[in-house]
Structure 1
């Protein structure tokens, strides 16, 4: 049974989230403020975090930043703040997905399932495919078994979604993928989300692996079509 941490100060919303998760076979715990939420999140007892942005004591952005430094688990931000800058900031700090209030509980559960499945997918994919132990293109190298990424011989830090996106693109060089296809492959086929998520992660990858992110040599935008990894 997967264990979900709900960090939410509105008791009615937290209760709805917990009830629907438990109905669908999850175990769920609630933290009603930022400090408690961070402590619980860092305990290592949870498989996924549902994180509100506006919390007493410590906001969701700070919690996300601190958790991401220590743990590689899905973080789904849930907030009434729907401005694009809020989504970009949250994803930029390492959140995996963003759900706007008010939301459908069914959609929430679907997003939770999709993100959990995506985190489990690397091991399943490794067993199904014949990926080599290492993928190297120009100055970029991925040690697949160790899940380590190197740029010019220096290891870089990444989120799980960034790693999966880079691995997928480098495993399929010169192939153009639409935002819809990338979202389906990386975030999960059974849920339709905000395609801006793809663009944010592409930009973050460029900042980490490209010498000149504004003029990328590898992660190329094909206008009107999508993205490709250029050799």
Structure 2
């Protein structure tokens, strides 16, 4: 079996039990060396073959996985965070489907969840935003016109921007078309890693925050009132009756 496994955001203790077990059993682990910390790779078997995918193209990766699968050995394709978010697993699965090779997907903890933990906030706030938007700025990978940041900003939802900190000034300009300049922002670098950093400020000063901190990559930009405000949930209010509790 070939497994596409979510490595989580970086902290090896945030691996799922299933992910950890598969790393312990795998004969081949193909991983992104620049994104998966060595502490996570330390969970692998000592005699497993570990291959950094950074210098490889799609065909190389498929060929390697198919080779080990043909030997009846367990293969893990390790993706950071959760494989379903910017994981590029679709193209790999499509080829495996055509080759009639079985695979499974093991979800992981996404970095946008680890970032919320780092800033100690809820994305969904009672009486406030009930919507979370996960997106990125268009770069070498295009974004559909109707999903550009400037348009999404008009929803004023809780926002997590991936893969865009290197173009932070453009991010700021587009978001200002929907959010107020004083909207709270946080930039979380390497969420859950030992070297995790959090920079806070307002949207107006977003670019300055990033430049001052020297953050170049591996960081999430969080935007929204959820970063500074929150209300009391009805769920635990004495006057809120539901199937398991009567109104007091």
TM over 0.5: no
More helix by share: 1
TM-score by length of 2: 0.25
TM-score by length of 1: 0.26
